[in-house]
Amino acid sequence: MKSRVPITVAAAALVFFAGYAALFIAPDERTMHEIQRIFYFHLGSWAAMFTALTIAFIANIAWLVTRQPRWDWLGVSSVEVGVAACTAGLITGVLWGKPAWGIWWTWDPRLTTCFILWILYISYLILRGLIEEPQRRATLSAIFGIFAFLDAPLVYASNRLWVGQHPSPVIMGGKDSGLDPAMGRVLLVAVVTMTVMMLIVLVDRYRLERLRHELDELRLAAESGSSSPKPLAAKELL
């Protein structure tokens, strides 16, 4: 546990600096003023979510190809962390929507596709809880995870394809889009901070899944009366 102290201190410093930069370094936006500063946490949450769900998507495919348990552990861990980041993104969106639009929520294409994504991955986690047999659980959830990920590019493209309440993209959104360079730097700090935090949580969540697997093996060994359970093969561990 001692080795985690530098990481925890570095993460805390990063979180503090990202908050300071968003509140005090980023320039004031002309129309929305201080409320626009939610943007840094809001986009940071989505960046963390997209990273986590992309890892889950790769892990789901890798499980179907290799059938190595570590990919299933990585898949479910990334989905759970991605759902947490998606929840943060939705909450910040709602808290931005009320002062900016006068309403907490609207069924705009971007908001709707995000909400569907959130529901899909919560369904993924519920589905896993309903299947007892590990191989079947891993395969079905990998297939469902790949299907759920189809909504992710749709979320990205939704405010490019359809007109809605949500603002047009400010990054890679065409010739009329763009971000003040100072805002861009603060945004980069926020995105890096939230992605790093997501990865730290993901490592812990992966350890949990691996330990759960080891415990199941140990339980099986205890039930069969053996005092030396078969250890995990080195290739099964990440």
Partner 1 sequence: MKNFHFLFAAWVAVWAVFFVYELSVASRLSRLRAEMDSLKRQLKE
Beta carbon of residue 175, minimum distance to partner 1 (angstroms, whole number)? 30
The one segment of 50-58, 108-116, 118-126, 211-219 that binds partner 1 by CB under 8 A: 211-219
Angstrom CA distances, 115 to 34, 112, 175, 200, stand at: 26, 5, 29, 25
Q: Is position 84 an interface residue for partner 1 (rule: CB under 8 A)?
A: yes
Beta carbon of residue 227, minimum distance to partner 1 (angstroms, whole number)? 5
Count Cβ neighbours within 10 Å for each residue of 11-24 and write b for 16 or more, e otherwise.
Answer: beebeeebbebbee
* Binding-residue total with partner 1 (CB under 8 A): 43
Q: Is position 81 an interface residue for partner 1 (rule: CB under 8 A)?
A: yes
Which distant-in-sequence residues (6+ apart) come within 8 Å of 147 by Cβ?
A: 120
Q: Is position 194 an interface residue for partner 1 (rule: CB under 8 A)?
A: yes
Q: Is position 136 an interface residue for partner 1 (rule: CB under 8 A)?
A: no
Angstrom CA distances, 27 to 23, 66, 99, 178, 215, stand at: 9, 49, 19, 14, 52
Beta carbon of residue 128, minimum distance to partner 1 (angstroms, whole number)? 15
The pair of structure tokens assigned to 84 is 């947490």
- One residue of 21, 41, 109, 112 binding partner 1 per CB under 8 A: 41
The string of DSSP letters for 142-195 reads HHHHHHHHTHHHHHHHHHHHS--SSPPPSSS--TT----HHHHHHHHHHHHHHH
- One residue of 62, 154, 208, 232 binding partner 1 per CB under 8 A: 208
- One residue of 139, 140, 165, 214 binding partner 1 per CB under 8 A: 214
- Token pair 């003023």 is at which residue? 33
- One residue of 103, 125, 222, 238 binding partner 1 per CB under 8 A: 222
- One residue of 46, 96, 121, 149 binding partner 1 per CB under 8 A: 96
Rounded to an integer, what distance in angstroms lies between the CA atom of residue 159 and that of residue 167? 7
State residue 173 phi and psi, 5-degree precision: -110, 15
Chain contacts with partner 1 (rule: CB under 8 A): 15, 19, 22-23, 33-35, 37-38, 41-42, 44-45, 81, 84-85, 87-88, 91-92, 95-96, 98-99, 194, 197-198, 200-201, 204-205, 207-208, 211-212, 214-215, 218-219, 221-222, 227, 229
